[in-house]
Amino acid sequence: MNIYGITKEKLEEYFLSIHEKKFKAIQVFEWLYQKRMNEIDGWSNIKKEIQEKIRNDFSFIMPKIIKREIDELTEKYLIELEDNEHIEAVLMHHDYGNSICVSSQVGCNMGCAFCESGRLKKVRNLETHEMVCQILLIEEITKERISSVVVMGIGEPFDNYEHVMDFIKIINDAKGIAIGARHITISTSGLVPKIKEFMNFPLQINLAISLHASNNELRNQLMNVNKAYNLDELLDTIRAYILKTNRRVTIEYVMLNNVNDREENALELAKILKGMNVYVNLIPYNETNHLEFKKSTKNQILKFYDILKKNKINVTIRKEFGSKISAACGQLRSKEVER
């Protein structure tokens, strides 16, 4: 197992299994994540024989950044994994700090019609360490701290549930990367059984739902997942999640020109979300050469926004990032695959 993919609790179990004190797990975490030292020989408070045991039992191999594209407030990274597969991570600079969008799979099987990531099918799930290392690598290259994380890159996080949950435990751990739970968001296309499971997750992580349509007919056209878990079932599950956790849910809604951005769509959306503790994030679409969808006009996005506001729906318009680089999720990877 890779050392960066093991939670502190599992590392404690490891040390107990080799008849050592479990507090050594804290020491290892401090070396890896606070001091950022993966040269075991320098772990001065851990005996040489234990160092050797760790060296034999764990891998320390990290993925490699092979391409970096920089826009004014955005940096996009192409990362090569040990098996020569590729993923992306995106760093966004805000006035309140740096956020990173991490990938959870190599490719994606959700097959959303407008998404570049889903155009290239899922190859495999990412291991926990391959998600953790996206943060470590980018902090190392930028020399800046990342203060918030969204699991919203390539892949469906809830289709890789166990690895993603371990990733969250490591980055949230006070002895790990120490990112606050309220600064971590998971986005799902609507895997209802996993949303129900996530209700019981002990950390107060934010949940975002990629909705992108105001009725079943339209959502069936845009998102294959709706054929398995339709809009009514999804909305009932979101209500149950809010009731159980008392946390607000983000509704992601990508604005597609003359597809889901009409006045009737805004009115429908307001109606189905009425009374729910949610806020809607309207997302200007990032166009790609491979897909026919176009971005809604600024006027149309503002009209949509106004209709939701008038119907007392909390709504924001996402600031556009990365317009001068391969902005669409999966675009940089698809270029590499095609090359």
Q: Each residue's pLDDT tens digit in the chain (339 positions)?
A: 999 999 999 999 999 999 999 999 999 999 999 999 999 999 999 999 999 999 999 999 999 999 999 988 899 999 999 999 999 999 999 998 999 999 999 999 999 999 987 677 899 999 999 999 999 999 999 999 999 999 999 999 999 999 999 999 999 999 999 999 999 999 999 999 999 999 999 999 999 999 999 999 999 999 999 999 999 999 999 999 999 999 999 999 999 999 999 999 999 999 999 999 999 999 999 888 878 999 999 999 999 999 999 999 999 999 876 555 555 555 565 555 555
Domains 3-57 and 64-338 share a fold: no
Contact 136, 90 (CB under 8 A): no
- Strands of the sheet containing 97-102, edge to edge, are 64-70, 74-80, 86-94, 97-102, 148-151, 184-188, 206-210, 249-255, 278-284, 314-317
CATH 3.40.50.300 fits 3-57, yes or no: no
Q: What phi and psi, each to the nearest 5 degrees, are found at residue 277?
A: -80, 75
Q: Which residue has the tokens 């826009």?
A: 71
Contact 106, 86 (CB under 8 A): yes
Contact 172, 159 (CB under 8 A): no
Enter the DSSP assignment of 2: B
> What span, in angstroms and rounded, lies between the C-alpha atoms of 50 and 23?
13
> What span, in angstroms and rounded, lies between the C-alpha atoms of 249 and 246?
10
> What span, in angstroms and rounded, lies between the C-alpha atoms of 86 and 106?
7
> Any idea which residues carry the catalytic annotation?
88, 329
Q: Which residues pair with 75 in a beta bridge?
A: 70, 91
**Extents of the domains making up the chain:** 3-57, 64-338
Task: Give the E-state strand segments of the chain in sequence order.
Answer: 64-70, 74-80, 86-94, 97-102, 105-106, 124-125, 148-151, 184-188, 206-210, 249-255, 278-284, 314-317
User: Which of 185, 189, 201, 181 lies closest to 155 in space, CA to CA?
Assistant: 189
For the whole model, what pTM was predicted? 0.93
Contact 263, 306 (CB under 8 A): no
The helix or strand, by DSSP H or E, that contains position 262, with its residue range, turns out to be none
For domain 64-338, give the fold.
TIM Barrel (3.20.20)
| 3-class SS of residue 125 | strand
